[in-house]
Amino acid sequence: MIAVIQTGGKQYKVAEGEIVKVEKLDFEPGNIVKFETLFTGDESAVAIGTPSLKTHVEGKVVTHGRHEKVAGIRHKAKKREMTRYGHKQHYTAVEITKISV
């Protein structure tokens, strides 16, 4: 069974037992988190929400961390001006424990 969840303004395709890195959540490691479900399905049945279903996906917070650095450059033409910048986005790793139907 797979599901599509929404959190942090993004959508993620998940399955039970999978570890997903989502936008940073305000939960301690070990806590249980419930996500809004947009889609559930398997080989025999499919359910699509308009916009969401009444089912939930539960997950356990594993850890918090930061993604790899994303580097960028701003350049102003004809001015010999260049600015370098970098950014590391925070994330929360969540293990999907249960997809309720």
Report how far apart, in Å, the C-alpha atoms of 9 and of each of 12, 42, 51, 58, 63 are: 10, 25, 14, 18, 20
Q: What is the pLDDT of residue 101?
A: 78
Distance CA 22, CA 10 (A): 8
Report domain extents, the chain: 2-99
Residue-by-residue pLDDT tens, the chain, 101 positions = 899 999 999 999 999 999 999 999 999 999 999 999 999 998 888 888 888 899 999 999 999 999 999 999 999 999 999 999 999 999 999 999 999 87
pTM, 2 dp: 0.83
> How far apart, in Å, are the Cα atoms of 63 and each of 8, 19, 50?
17, 10, 32
Q: What's the pLDDT at 42?
A: 87
pLDDT at 17 (0 to 100): 95
